[in-house]
Amino acid sequence: MDSPEGPPPQRLRTLPSRLTNQAAQTANRIVDQALAQAGVRRYHYALLAALEEYGPASQAALGRRTGIDRSDMVATVNDLAERQLLERAPDPEDRRRNIVTITAAGRRQLADLDRLIAAAQDEFLAPLPAADRQNLIDLLTRLVGHHGDKRN
């Protein structure tokens, strides 16, 4: 024990932005690991979820709803199309667009992912009793709500 090897500096330990970050990292580690069991990443889940809830849509619309950039959406759709979890077809009514539609296999995959995700949330929130979980959700919702979609 040369130097006491103290833990994180004061300044960082209670810094809200840093705490939020570390929590997010933890959450991501857990969620990514869960999704990896199905060979999928977060973008894939978000896209499938958006597709199932809103029905077929253009890539641009899906991007707006999921917060995925247009350019990243291309790759994400490519991935899922390869696995036949969705279909990409040109929109006859607007030839700029592709209409993306979830397949039956996609729906099945999504159901699996839902289960994995739910388990991951539970692991993430393990230290908090139900009341506190809701509390956290409320606080975070207010935060992200206030700062809105400032993607610049």
Give the footprint of DNA on this chain (CB under 7 A).
21, 25, 29, 32, 41-43, 58-61, 63, 67-74, 77, 88, 93-98, 151-152
CB of 28 to a second copy, least distance (A): 7
Tell me the CA distances in angstroms from 98 to 67, 93, 103, one per residue in order: 18, 10, 15
Which residue among 41, 64, 88, 107 contacts a second copy (CB under 8 A)? 64
CB of 69 to a second copy, least distance (A): 13
**Separation between Cα atoms, residue 22 and residue 20, nearest integer Å:** 6
54 binds, among a second copy, DNA, none (CB under 5 to 8 A by kind): a second copy
- How many CB atoms are closer than 10 A to CB 111? 11
| 3 state DSSP class of 90 | strand
Pair of tokens at residue 142 = 């207010």
Check binding of 107 to a second copy (CB under 8 A). Answer: no
CB of 7 to DNA, least distance (A): 15
- Judged by CB, which is closer to a second copy: 23, or 105? 23
Strand 98-102 versus strand 57-58 pairing type: antiparallel
Q: Where are the alpha helices (DSSP H) in the chain?
A: 10-13, 16-36, 42-54, 59-66, 70-82, 104-124, 130-147
- Judged by CB, which is closer to DNA: 69, or 122? 69
Residue 142 DSSP class: H
CB of 32 to a second copy, least distance (A): 10
15: left (phi over 0), alpha (psi -120 to 50) or beta: beta
Binding site for a second copy (CB under 8 A): 3, 5-12, 14-17, 19-31, 46, 49-50, 52-54, 57, 61, 64-67, 114, 117, 120-121, 124-128, 132-133, 135-137, 139-147, 150
